[in-house]
Amino acid sequence: MLKELHLKQVGPAPKFDVDFADRLNIFTGDNGLGKTFLLDVVWYSLTGTWIDNPVFPQLTEETPTIYCSFINQKTGGSTTFDSHFDFEKQKWIGRTLPPLLGSLVIYVRVDGGFSVFDPARSLSTAAPLIAYQFSHYTLWNGLRSEGGQVLCNGLIQDWVKWQNQPDRTTFQLLSRVIRQLSPHPNEWMEPGEPMRVSVEDVRDIPTIQMPYGTVPVIQASAGMKRILGLAYLLVWTWYEHLQASKLRKRQPLDQIILLMDEVESHLHPQWQRSIMPAVLEVATGLQKQMKIQAFATTHSPLVLASLEPIFNEESDRLFLFELQEEEVTLNEFPWTKQGDTVGWLTSEIFGLKQARSKEAEIAIEAAEAWMRHDNMNTFPEHLRNQPQIQQQLERLLPGHDPFWPRWIVTVEKRRA
């Protein structure tokens, strides 16, 4: 389990110090403040590899460093990983190798790709650790090493293979995971029978059964493909871990570290409202007593609202990236239930004054200023008196808007 991360002269701030929660760590904040950057650094700290390009340090006199500490949940012992940037070699140098974790590590990336680290599939602590990097294409069609070894068959081939195995245990697991990630009983997805869909492509293509019919997975929507890819990746990681553990005569691991970067991307609100609890349920359900530590970024008030029933302040934390006086800060934010998306949007986490269009927000602020007898000269010229404000409110607000009663009563009192 990753317990602490300390960064100096790397990223958007001169210094970051984070103490992580044992189970769920949620990060939110405006675009460009460092959420994906933080997940990339966490991945590097866990695996010693970078997803794409290494993060570039700040050009200062101090040596840029990445330091983190880990806790073994079984023994209670701690280990550390320390890395610094060598400007001469233009790369990060680890003073010690990342600990060979007793955890699977899965990174659900915002670009639609996935990354997987499995200690059982790494050769030894002396060799470079193996991390599997999937693009959307290789996840679906297979991943090979530079030497031509087949590292992963891909979703299309594995799905059909598992479905046709006499022992359908893995396929049944895949089917269960797909059902768990479906958002609503009326929006269910079930694997169907494979079928040929192209003259040129000789493969049998998996299908999903929807309430309105059967759809080949390659013709599913972008959001559904993301869900199906996630379901397959979770099952494939666990399946291959069991195979590798069997060959090495090891016990399978009972810990998973999940990194999820805006997992709600491309998803309808119905799916946003269920995806995070469902992923946590799936991960813990792969094996009895499975332990999970999750690091997730989000911009979605629905994702935060969906966590209200399961958020535990003893094992979970919410963090907020903010820009304060031209400096980025990352601080733990007290968890408070907001009840609904409007509550979350107007909370300090998202900071909107009104959960409305910008024009409606300005019109209501003008109306409230007029009701308080404030100086109206600070507002646009078309919002400086009651008739102008009335006209704008009628244009922007629906008839059932809760602001209307207060406005109407105040206008009538001023006329009396």
At 123 the pLDDT is 58
> 184 pLDDT band (50/70/90 cuts)?
low
| CA 384 distance to own-chain centroid | 44
Q: How large is the C-alpha radius of gyration of the chain?
A: 26
**Number of DSSP helices (H) and strands (E) in the chain, helices first:** 12, 18
Q: Are residues 177 and 218 in the same domain?
A: yes
Q: What is the tens place of the pLDDT at every residue in 305-359?
A: 999 999 999 999 999 999 888 889 899 999 999 999 999 999 999 988 888 999 9
Q: Are residues 379 and 301 in the same domain?
A: no
Q: Are 267 and 275 in contact (CB under 8 A)?
A: yes
- Spatial neighbors of 64 by CB under 8 A, at least 6 apart, are 8, 9, 10, 57, 58, 84, 85
Three-class DSSP category at 148: coil
Average pLDDT over residues 213-217: 92
Calculate what percentage of the chain has a pLDDT beyond 70: 95
| Residue in 110, 154, 164 with CA at minimum distance from that of residue 132 | 154
Q: How far apart are CA 348 and CA 52, in angstroms?
A: 33
What is the domain range of residue 274? 2-345
Q: Are residues 341 and 401 in the same domain?
A: no
Domain end among 290, 320, 345: 345
Query: Is 411 a residue whose pLDDT tops 60?
Result: yes
Q: What is the tens place of the pLDDT at every residue in 350-378?
A: 988 888 999 999 999 999 999 999 999 99
Q: Are 97 and 125 in contact (CB under 8 A)?
A: yes
Mean pLDDT of the chain: 90
Q: How far apart are CA 364 and CA 246, in angstroms?
A: 65
Q: Are residues 15 and 56 in the same domain?
A: yes
Burial class (CB in 10 A: 0-12, 13-18, 19+), 176: middle
At 242 the pLDDT is 94
At 96 the pLDDT is 67
Query: Is 126 a residue whose pLDDT tops 50?
Result: no
Residue 5 vs residue 125, higher pLDDT: 5
What six digits make up the tokens of 227? 């869900």
Q: How far apart are CA 69 and CA 40, in angstroms?
A: 16
At 308 the pLDDT is 95
Residue 92's alpha-carbon distances to 44, 54, 63, 95, 96, in angstroms, are 10, 8, 11, 10, 12
pTM over 0.75: yes
Residue 227's alpha-carbon distances to 271, 276, 369, in angstroms, are 9, 12, 47
Q: Are residues 332 and 383 in the same domain?
A: no
Lowest model confidence (mean pLDDT) among 56-65, 133-142, 254-263: 56-65
At 29 the pLDDT is 92
At 372 the pLDDT is 93
Query: Is 413 a residue whose pLDDT tops 70?
Result: yes
> CATH number for the domain including 316?
3.40.50.300
Q: Are residues 333 and 366 in the same domain?
A: no
- What spatial distance separates the first Cα and last Cα of the chain, rounded to whole Å? 68
Q: What is the tens place of the pLDDT at every residue in 26-48?
A: 999 999 889 999 999 999 998 88
Q: How far apart are CA 337 and CA 306, in angstroms?
A: 10
Domain end among 345, 371, 388: 345
At 60 the pLDDT is 84
In a domain? residue 351:
no
Query: Is 134 a residue whose pLDDT tops 90?
Result: yes
User: Strand pairing of 15-19 and 316-324?
Assistant: unpaired
Q: What is the tens place of the pLDDT at every residue in 253-290?
A: 989 999 999 988 888 888 899 999 999 999 988 888 89
> 206 pLDDT band (50/70/90 cuts)?
very high
Burial class (CB in 10 A: 0-12, 13-18, 19+), 75: exposed
In a domain? residue 37:
yes
Give the total number of structural domains in the chain: 2
At 49 the pLDDT is 87
DSSP string, 71-97: E-TTT--EEEEEEEEETTTTEEEESSP
Query: Is 127 a residue whose pLDDT tops 60?
Result: no
